[in-house]
Amino acid sequence: MKKIEKNLKIIDKIELVRKKNNINWMNLMKIAFKYAPVDAKKCVAQISKQDKQINELIKKLIK
């Protein structure tokens, strides 16, 4: 099997796992905002801040 084909199969597997995990992530957010909205907002704000940092690093990587 060619390297590219192998990589694409791995990416497909990652995609399947991520789809499931995204559902779990959204369920967790719903629970957090329902039962502890103040704490949930703080946590999501931190996640958003760190995601921005990751995106900036990715921009440097793909230049």
- Domain with 21, as residue range(s), is 3-62
- Residue 31's alpha-carbon distances to 5, 11, 36, 40, 62, in angstroms, are 40, 30, 8, 9, 36
Q: What gap in Å lies between CA 49 and CA 42, rounded to an integer?
A: 11
The answer to whether 31 touches 40, Cβ cutoff 8 Å, is no
Number of domains in the chain: 1
Q: Distance between CA atoms of 63 and 12, rounded to whole angstroms?
A: 25
pTM above 0.85, yes or no: no
Model confidence pLDDT, tens digit, residues 7-50: 899 989 989 998 999 999 999 999 999 999 999 999 999 999 99
